[in-house]
Structure 1
Amino acid sequence: MRLRELRDIYLNQDIYIVGSGPTANLFPMDFLKDKICLSLNDAYKMHPAITPITLMNSQVYAHTANSEKAPYHEYFKNIKYPIVKPTSRYRVEKIEWEHPYFYYFDRTLDFEQIWSLTKDTDYLYYTPEGCSLHPALQLCWIFGARNVFIIGCDSCTFKGEHYASFDKNGIGTIEVKRSYDAYIYGTLVIQDFLKTKGINVFNLSPIVGYHRVEYQYDVLTGKISTQTVIEQIKQL
Structure 2
Amino acid sequence: MKCVSELYDRYPNSDIYVVGTGASLRVFPLSLLDNKITIGLNQAWKTVPVRYSITIHPELSIPEFLPSEPAHPEITWITKYEKTKGVATPEQLRYAEEQFYFFETAGRPNTQPPNKPSDTGRMLDWVRRPTDDKLYLWTSIAQSGVNLAANMGAKNVFLIGCDNCALLGNNHAHKQHTRWRDASADSRYREYYEGLAEMRPVLRERGVNLVSLTPFLSLAAPEQDFMRLCEDLDRPSLIESGADISPKLDYTGYYVDRFKKFARKVLAAR
Deviations 1:148-206 (A, max 9, x none): 1111111268xxx829xxxxxxxx99543431221111011111121111011220138
Q: Structure 1: where are the runs of 5+ without partners?
A: 164-171, 229-236
What's the RMSD between the two structures over aligned residues? 3.5
Label 1:196 to 1:207 Cα distance change in 2 as closer, same or farther (>3 A). farther
* Residue-by-residue CA offset, 1:80-119 (whole Å, 9 max, x unaligned): x2101356698459x98x9221111122324553125542
Asked which structure has the greater CA Rg, the reply is 2
| Amino acid aligned to 1:56 | T
CA distance in 2, matches of 1:208, 1:124: 33
Count of aligned pairs = 197
Q: Is it true that 1:113 corresponds to 2:119 in the alignment?
A: no
The whole-number CA distance in structure 2 between the counterparts of 1:141 and 1:40 is: 15
CA drift of 1:42 comes to: 1.5
Aligned-partner SS, 1:139 = helix
CA contact (8 A) 2:27 2:226 kept: no
Structure 2 contact 19–160 (Cα < 8 Å) conserved: yes
Is 2:12–2:154's contact at 8 Å kept on the other side of the alignment?
Answer: yes
* Aligned twin of 1:24: 25
Mapping of 1:178-193 within 5 angstroms? 178-193=187-202
In the superposition, relative to structure 1, how do residues 2 and 72 fare at CA in structure 2: closer, same or farther (>3 Å)?
A: farther
Matches within 5 A, 1:38-49: 38-47=39-48
Q: Name the counterpart of 2:67.
A: 70
The amino acid across from 2:130 in the alignment is K
- Which residue of 1 is the match for residue 134 of structure 2? 123
Equivalent pair of 2:149/2:157 in contact (CA under 8 Å):
yes
Alignment correspondent of 2:54: 55
TM-score norm. by structure 1 comes to 0.69
Q: Where in structure 1 do 4 or more consecutive aligned residues deviate above 6 Å?
A: none
TM-score normalised by L of structure 2: 0.61
Partner of 1:234 in structure 2? none
Q: Name the structure 1 match of 2:142.
A: 133
Letter in structure 2 aligned against 1:131:
S
Q: 1:205 to 1:132 in 2, by over 3 A?
A: farther
Unpaired runs of 5+ residues, structure 2, are 107-118, 173-180, 228-270
CA 138–110 in structure 1, closer or farther in 2 if over 3 Å, else same: same
Residue in structure 2 matched with residue 103 of structure 1 by the alignment: 101
Counterpart residue type for residue 32 of structure 1: L
Check the 8 A contact 1:148/1:199 in 2, yes or no: yes
Per-residue CA deviations over 1:48-86 (Å, capped at 9, x if unaligned) read xx331111222232227xxx3635535x2321x210135
- Structure 1 residue 2, shift from structure 2 partner: 0.5
Alpha-carbon distance between aligned partners in 2 of 1:120 and 1:26, rounded to the nearest angstrom: 36
Q: For the residues of structure 2 that align with 1:183 and 1:71, how far apart are their CA atoms?
A: 31
